[in-house]
Amino acid sequence: MKDIARQAMSIKVESMDMLNGQIKMEANASATYLAMASWCEQNGFFTSAKFFFKQSEEEREHMMKIFNFLIDVGGSPLSPEVTNINHDYSSIVDVFEHTLDHEIAVTKSIHQIVMKARELGDLTTERFLDWFVLEQVEEENTIRDILDMISVTGTEGVGLQLIDDHVGNWIN
Ligand code: FEO
């Protein structure tokens, strides 16, 4: 039955397997940003906490976009298991640096799926991922801008409070 379903899909099996991996990655990002929101709340960075609550929701939306795409093409999306979420950060700078690392890893992963879809001649998957490629440009840019703001503001004296206030500029 499963094999029949896989044959009836309008995308390649390899693409589906990679997209299921991406579902897991987006779920991991959502859970990671929720943990970061918790860290920010506990350490008095309340605006940054709002930023990460929103990021967490957006990552879940990304996950669901892929999930629903797999349903639309007759595939089998898998509900991901998410474990080992880090809750320990040494500073607000550490939080945003980890965020950038995370987003760069997501970008690389999306690009790998696009390249594989291209190699397979899977135009449906390639086109579907256009949105994600551009979304990653925006997400990386946001975090780089925040890290630039942090380095200009500095973390001495009232700097930390100013950093938290300024993060509000990146909450839509
Ligand atoms: Fe959905 Fe920020 O990667």
Residue 24 to residues 17, 83, 116, Cα–Cα distance (Å) = 11, 10, 18
Q: Is the pLDDT of residue 171 over 90?
A: yes
CA of 49 to the centre of ligand 1 (A): 17
The Cα 92–Cα 95 span in angstroms is 5
pLDDT at 6: 59
The stretch 7-11 carries a mean pLDDT of 80
Which residue's CA is the nearest one to ligand 1's atom 2? 103
Residue 129 to residues 88, 94, 115, Cα–Cα distance (Å) = 32, 30, 11
State the first-to-last Cα distance of the chain, in angstroms, to the nearest integer.
45
What pLDDT band is residue 8 in, cutting at 50, 70 and 90?
Answer: confident
Percent of the chain exceeding pLDDT 70 equals 96
pLDDT at 10: 85
| Residue ranges in 43-158 assigned as alpha helix (H) | 46-72, 92-120, 123-128, 130-153
Cβ atoms of residues 66 and 60 within 8 Å: no
Domains annotated for the chain, with CATH where assigned, are 2-170 (1.20.1260.10)
Q: Which pLDDT tens digit goes with each residue over 105-160?
A: 999 999 999 999 999 999 999 999 999 999 999 999 999 999 999 999 999 988 99
Please work out whether the CB of residue 126 comes within 6 Å of at least one atom of ligand 1: no
Cβ atoms of residues 166 and 153 within 8 Å: yes
CA of 52 to the centre of ligand 1 (A): 12
pLDDT at 1: 52
Residue 166 to residues 4, 72, 115, Cα–Cα distance (Å) = 53, 41, 37
